Amino acid sequence: MLLVSAFGNFKLGFFSPASSTTTERYLGIWHDTAPDTLGWYFRPFLPRYQTDEPIWIANRNTPILDQSGVLTIDSIDGNLKILHNGGNPIAVSSVEGASNNTSATLLQSGNLVLREMDTDGTIKRVLWQSFDYPTDTLLPGMKLGINLQTGHQWFLQSWLDYSSPAQGSFTLGIEPNATNQLIIRWRRETIYWTSGLLLNGNFNFSRSWNLSFSYTSNEQEKYFEYSLNEGVTSSVFLRIDPEGALSDSRGSFAPCTYGGCWNQLPRPICRKGTGPENFQSKVGLISEHGFKFKESDNMSSTDCRANCFYNCSCIAFATGTSEYTDKQAYCEIWSEGTEFTEIASNNSREIFILAIKEEKWWRSLTIAIGVVLGIPLLCYLCYVTWRKLKAKDNVSLLPTYGKRKSPEKDQSISHELKIFDFQTIAAAANNFSTTNKLGEGGFGPVYKGKLADEQEVAIKRLSRSSGQGIVEFKNEVRLIAKLQHTNLVRLLGCSLHGEERLLVYEFMPNKSLDFFLFNSGRKNVLNWEKRFIIIEGISQGLLYLHKYSRLRVIHRDLKASNILLDDKMNPKISDFGMARIFEVNESEANTKRIVGTYGYMSPEYAMSGIVSIKTDVFSFGVLVLEIVSGQKNHTRHHPDRPLNLIGYAWQLLSDGKGLELIDPSLEQPCSANEVMRCIHVGLLCVQDQAMDRPTMPEVVCMLQNETMPLPPPKQPAFFINANADDQVPEVPDNEVAKFSTNDVTMTTMEAR
């Protein structure tokens, strides 16, 4: 049975996707009018979408598994529900306070409306309508925008793939901070495409579509909608497909989004001459397990392809559906060196392998000859240029350094930052002897020293062999010289001498947090009172960096080894070589230079290069859980699968066993409420989506206010790897990724 609109142009009923191989069925609305005279021309170019495919789906994420589906109006609350043999009724509408005298009508606009009726059969009010809950298709009269009074948003969300209507990776909505623009986002974070401004009822991409857009903005709502120009039939509607392309029902694509907006993202240099379309499907056997992203991400094939293409070491990917996690989609990628055998067998699987375009032999020969002849000359030019830049860098960084500096400027540049000569530093550190060595920092060794005035200092030596370049050195000097806070390590001075770059800090007698926290013989020094003081101190330091300093600073490498402890065990955040300065009104940025430490990096930063204050919030959350438990994040916490500390903490809290996370070395009594609040706040900070994580002002308030109610944390960002012992593919030296190297940085990626 079907529910048909007045003129028969729309129908409501149960269906299975045409390209699906499962028995899953959905309740949907589809257009039942033949395409207009222009539409038939495009159909050969758009085989995946037909005019009789649904324009709205009621249960896109909860399909029924047999033929038993029935749409009914509940006799008690008057809401629309789907009854089936497979389990509980599926709610289509959820209107509170509805009466049992309701009626559902499919209008000729394609809108399914639930109305409350008077006793005489007249319409009393509209309770619910499908136009308020669009799926992947926009019809004339639908809105894209936001209800400012209720916060409800109207947006389109693509299918997961062409055979599954489940919510996919691409959304089309309005840009809330701009005027008259539409925006497509990938996985709710990455901006794929913007429409530009609305001019004279049209966007640039829609001028050939015979549509007229309008924009409404008032105190109640902001939204776009469109109407059809005169002479255009009602079969024309807009759709966002699983690859992120925006098209009308006749197959006309928005010019800048064909093929999923791939052209909007800059291609890596390593993919020159190759595009995402160059993955070839092959069936066979692969030599080893790949890296598997967490199944809760529910990645589509488009997501998996993108993650592989923009990872220079990736050569192949595969997607599928997990049998263990409610049929969620998974993504697995393989790096260079993996062997693939194309063969049909019971164990064979479909793998998408990137086909690298081969250059003409004569082109390769020409390049080879040019390289051989040009290398000597290039090396000489590089050496001369390097020498000049080196001298210029030394002068620009330290204008008072050298023989021409005046006595008045010999001791200080600004903010009491002293310039030391190399001989003074070497003497203070006993010529950098091993007995004075405190440990290895992110970019080189750190030594204990004593100046001529008996002041004890810590000296960070950044020589030619260290990973830190002049960029990081300048960054650290420029930043720390301007930052003054009790929970930030204080920079006393610096020195440049040839290839030597040295930073002089105040001396921290109790070394770093990891020295105590992860050592079974020393961790008992950290009772709960001290641990909570350390947590609060770190939060205050981050609050200063994010909000109250003259520069808005994102640290980007917050971890236990970068938290130093003074003589009273108060924490001080150190190592600002990787920090980034933001403008006051700047909330996030993209970077090609990804730096940090595995286990502490947020997923959007590690995978997409998106850096924001929430990057530090994620690292802080990991650090809080480590302080409570006394264990590193990459430690395994599950006998059957590589569940890391974050996942273990979330599982314990979900099971009501949060206190089991406490470090066994902590002596009782300690405040159970305080511990649970720290675990709760830590899990809020490591939530998968950056927008769900609190800001540091909110974190500080949560930690200090014991009566403040805390929202339940969503599933955190941690990976479930098919083979946790697989090593992370090495990043070539010429790649943009750089990770700090110290005693807690892992070369093996453990599950997050």
Which among 464, 475, 752, 413 has a CA at the least distance from the CA of 598? 752
Is 303 labeled as catalytic in the residue annotation?
no
Q: How far apart are CA 601 and CA 560, in angstroms?
A: 13
Task: Indicate the pairing of strand 349-354 with strand 314-321.
Answer: antiparallel
- What's the maximum distance between 2 C-alpha atoms anywhere in the chain? 100
Dihedral of the CA atoms 231, 232, 235, 236 (nearest 10)?
-170
Which residue is associated with the tokens 């979408």? 49
Which among 648, 706, 697, 699 has a CA at the least distance from the CA of 675? 706
Q: What angle do CA 318, 323, 324 make, to 5 degrees?
A: 115
Q: How far apart are CA 719 and CA 688, in angstroms?
A: 11
Q: What angle do CA 389, 392, 398 make, to 5 degrees?
A: 135
DSSP assigned state of 705: -
Which among 277, 315, 292, 218 has a CA at the least distance from the CA of 724? 292
Q: Are 131 and 142 in contact (CB under 8 A)?
A: yes
Which among 65, 232, 240 has a CA at the least distance from the CA of 137? 240
Residue 667: CB partners within 8 Å, gap ≥ 6?
Answer: 524, 527
> Taking each helix axis from N to C terminus, what angle separates 613-629 and 672-685, rounded to the nearest 10 degrees?
140
- Beta bridge pairs of residue 159: 167
Helix boundaries (H) for 348-469: 361-397, 422-428
DSSP assigned state of 43: G
Which one of the listed residues 136, 557, 575, 663 is annotated catalytic?
557
DSSP string spanning 76-145? TT--EEEE-TTSSPEES---TT--S-EEEEE-TTS-EEEEEE-TTS-EEEEEEEGGGS--SEE-TT--EE
What three-state secondary structure class fits 565? strand
Residues classed as catalytic: 557
